[in-house]
Amino acid sequence: MRVEVRPFPDRPDEPSGPEVLARIVAVVVTYHPEPARLSALLDVIGSQVESVIIVDNGSPGMADWLGESAGARGCGLELLERNTGVAAAHNVGIAKARLARADAVLLLDQDSLPAANMVAELRRAFVALTTAGEVVGAVGPSQIDGRNGQPAPFVRDIVVHRPVRLYYIMRNHLLLYGRRDTPARWVLQDVPRLIFKSVVFATAIQPRLKNLSMIVKGIQDGIRGKTGSYDLR
């Protein structure tokens, strides 16, 4: 099932370009989404952007519900055959947003719940930075901890990941290291962080043995150049 996003009509009477960000498209990646939570996300973000594209990572048995939800809200929908990972699914949505001639893309997942003025604030921050002469690649919101209502710090000692996430982190970082267009300075800065993360998860964070196993597998597959999803069987 696919609900296409139609290109936006030309607007010769209004300014265009990244300074204005008149056409912002939201890309929402889903995998086994909780219907009520996803519905809340779509309802709050739909009025803040020009269009919404849902990219589902192969959720079994949810195609009909996703199609109905997308159709009722005028969202675009891409149903992938299998779980390709969040980044790959975002890339699918970004490609669709480019075809729709979006000025900017807002990347979300199914657990996001933006504030009602989030997009307006992000646009304001982008315009302020570019007006000041900064070259801006992206702007992002502060994350609010739902447990205590406090904003999460921008830099954190460490984020706890599931073992399979550690596999992807290790593998994908090694794949990036091997690319010709990856800056050498970034690699030199990133390697110590990756080593630190590996040591901490393998020795101090449960389940230690499972973490270590997935770290090793990620390193092995990164060296081999393996891509795609990890087989959990």
Single pTM value for the model: 0.65
- Give the number of other CB atoms < 10 A from CB of residue 186: 11
CB atoms near residue 22 (< 10 Å): 17
Query: Beta partners for 2?
Result: 78
Domains of the chain with CATH codes: 2-131 (3.90.550.10), 163-224 (no CATH)
Structure confidence by residue, pLDDT tens digits, 143-198: 877 777 777 665 557 678 889 999 999 999 999 999 999 999 999 999 999 999 99
Contact at 8 Å (CB) between 67 and 1?
yes
Whole-angstrom distance, CA of residue 138 vs CA of residue 19: 13
- At 202 the pLDDT is 94
Nearby residues of 226 by Cβ (< 8 Å), 6 or more positions away: 171
Say which amino acid occupies 189.
Answer: Q
